[in-house]
A = this chain, B = another copy of it.
Amino acid sequence: MFREKIKVLDCTIRDGGLINNHDFDIRFVREVYKALSLAGVDYMEIGYKNSKKLFSPKDFGRWKFCDEEDIKKVTDGIESKTKISCMVDVDRVDVDDIVPRKDSPVAMMRVASYVKDIDKAIYLVNHFADKGYETTVNIMAISRALDNELTECLQQLELECKAGVIYIVDSFGALYQETTEFLIKKAKSILKSKEVGIHAHNNQQLAFSNTIEAIIHDANYVDATVYGLGRAAGNCPLELVLGFLKNPKFDIRPVLDLISKEFIPLREKMEWGYIIPYAITGILDEHPRAAIALRSSDKKENYREFYDSLVGEVEE
């Protein structure tokens, strides 16, 4: 029997945008939106709302800013129940850029934050909630969070924050299922008035299983991307999530078509997925940035040297 409360959020364009400076063209994004709408996916995250005072539109694609008119070019004329979501990072958004919900095609605003920045995240979320948006806080780098600080962070979110959903984000792809279980149970035990979500990275091929693990322990919001597209090792593959969930409203077929027609060709031009340097940073619970740099160098397949360069940095 399916659990109706489970919502699937596709963040293909948002997380995939981290590979190509958010420069997907309108046609491609429309194809994704069409397929997700047919598949019954609940949300589509289309990009970031970054301040143009901080980042120049000359240097980045449109999905780093997500202007309302660009979003409408994607959604106009397509019948859909899929809601649009945008993400903001703490310290990178100008709150005055965010128009009221009633004037925007965006339904949900998600704020990504480290534990240490949670006060700023709460300020942003409450501001967006007051403007009429559904809101979430996505706690990044959860595998590095100290337990006492995470406890305080979750307690503060429960008491002070209007977000409906708090996500556990395994930024480094470092979690195994026992730790996922621990973190989801911990979050559920503190966040009595909110839903819990999971955003998993696939460095160790555990994004899908950690997502299942989170669902088992009552997370109801799950992030995924088409064919696992996303920075570095990528994310939990949407097609596997749809194959797993039993809610008859979901249909895997439009996503299969989308992969055939758009993502197999895309994979020739963009790199993501199970690649050993990303597996190594996952195993070592490190940010993938060193592995991303390696993949752009002429040492891209020198795995042992890369491994030793990371484990050699011993700190007392």
Binding site for B on A (CB under 8 A): 176-178, 202, 204-210, 212-213, 216, 227-228, 237, 239-240, 243-244, 252-253, 256-257, 259-260, 264, 273-274, 276, 279-280, 283, 301-304, 307-308
Contacts and interface: CB of A to CB of B under 8 A. Distances in A.
B240 A279 contact: yes
Q: How many copies does the complex hold?
A: 2
Contacts of A177: 177, 209, 212-213, 216
A178 B176 CA distance: 15
A276 to B, nearest CB: 6
A216 B178 contact: yes
B204 A202 contact: no
Nearest to A273: B274
Contacts of A264: 301
Contacts of A308: 253
A212 B244 CA distance: 19
Contact of A303 (B202, B216, B244, B256): B256
8 contacts: A206-B208, A237-B274, A237-B279, A240-B279, A243-B279, A256-B276, A256-B304, A273-B274
A206 B209 CA distance: 6
A204 B307 CA distance: 27
Interface hub of A207, A273, A307 (most chain B Cβ within 10 A): A307
A304 B228 CA distance: 18
Given A205-B202, A205-B205, A303-B260, A212 B176 contact: yes
Contacts of A207: 205
Given A205-B205, A240-B205, A307-B252, A274 B276 contact: no
Contacts of A274: 228, 237, 273-274
B204 A283 contact: no
